Structure formats: C-alpha cells, structure tokens
Amino acid sequence: MSNKKLKIKVCGIKHQHNVDEIAGLKLDFIGNIFFEKSPRKIESIIQTPVTKVGVFVKESLATIKEKINQHGLAVIQLHGGESNDFCKSVKEFGVQVWKVLSIGDDFDFSQLSNYPDADMFLLDTKTKNHGGAGEKFDWKLLGEIDEKIPKQYFLAGGIHPEDAKTIKALQLEKLIGLDLNSRFESSPGIKNPKQLEKFLNELRS
C-alpha cells in the first residue's frame, strides 16, 4: 500500500485533553487500552469522532462486551494469546477483531493460519508486558511475513518519530497501517502532538 494512504492508529491515550490536542492530524483509529497492568490504561470515556479500538489482554467476553457498550468501541484488538474461537465470539458483538501477533526471533510462521475469523492482524514486538515497550522486532522479517500472511496488517512495536523515511521505503503489499504508541509520548499515555504531526507530515509527503 502507498505510504500516503497508510491508516494511522494512535494507541494508549488516557485523557480527553490529549485526544483534543491531536484532533487535527487526520487519524483513522484511537486505541483505548483496558489492560489493568498497563501504564496507559484508559481512565475515562473519551469522546472522539475517530474510530475507537479497545485493546484487551486475556479478558473475559463479558467484560469486552461491557466495554464495547460503555465506550462505543468499533474494533477489538486481542493481545493475549486468544484462540480463533474467541475471536469469532467477540465478532458476534458486532465489532471487527484485530489479532496481535507477537514477533520475536523465534516467530512461528504457522501462527499466520491460526486465525481465519480475525479481520486483521497487528504485528507487535514480543515482550513480557504485551506491547508498549517501545522496542522494534527485526523488520527484515517483514518481507517473509508479508509474503505468507493471509490478511492485511498493521505494523506496531517501537515505531519512532524518525522512522518515516524507513517506512516509506518498505515495499509490503499487505501492510495497511501503523500503530503509534510509546515513542511519541512525553509520559506514559500522554502523546506529543508535535512529534506526531512531524512524523505524519513526512510519511504523507
């Protein structure tokens, strides 16, 4: 996909005022994290016209359904080793399901065929804390993954404000979007509007 058309998700915003600060950046998705152990766990209901993604780790179906209704979530991102059957059950709530694949040096490519009911994949760096560590996996793996992956996907994991040029040079047919998080923060859950604007302007130029 052309990098001018990559969809942009900014994940882990905790406060309404921060959402308002970045309202003019033409974002496609805002990520609300509901994982209790995350320093970016959402603290209140955020109002935005941007499509909201709820991020969950090993959460119950009942809680996910409750948060969909409370927060107006349109997409559920599953980050905790959930099964395809679980993805299918979440979709019955009338939302899209994005399944996170945690990429490390020992990535098992057979995982790519395990989630036929997921709408999309999100490739993140394998960490103990289920994302948000600001670490990249080896992007040299992306060529092989792009060739074998059966669905479109977002790239996440340590994307940095200085990475726009590198990302623009990627030739990946199924890459559809970027997930921006901890490298664009002044503190956990507080995004830096100037860093985001600079990165997006360069990416889209």
- CATH number for the domain that contains residue 162: 3.20.20.70
**Which tokens in the block code for residue 192?**
């830096």
**Which tokens in the block code for residue 71?**
């927060």
CA distance 129 to 159: 17
**Helix ranges, 58-179 (H):** 61-71, 84-91, 142-148, 164-168
Domain hosting residue 128, numbered range:
3-204
Q: What is the mean pLDDT of the chain?
A: 93
Q: What is the mean pLDDT of residues 125-132?
A: 65
Confidence of residue 93 (pLDDT cuts 50, 70, 90): very high
Residues 6+ apart with CB under 8 A from 157: 103, 123, 124, 125, 131, 135, 136, 137, 179
Tell me, what's the pLDDT at 2? 55
Please say if the pLDDT value at position 101 is more than 70.
Answer: yes
**Helix ranges, the chain (H):** 16-21, 61-71, 84-91, 142-148, 164-168, 193-204
Three-state secondary structure call for residue 32: strand
Q: Nearest CA to 200 among 35, 69, 1, 27?
A: 27
Please say if the pLDDT value at position 122 is more than 90.
Answer: yes
Confidence of residue 85 (pLDDT cuts 50, 70, 90): very high
pTM flag (> 0.85): yes
Give the rounded percent of residues in the chain with a pLDDT score beyond 90: 83
Please say if the pLDDT value at position 128 is more than 80.
Answer: no
Domain total in the chain: 1
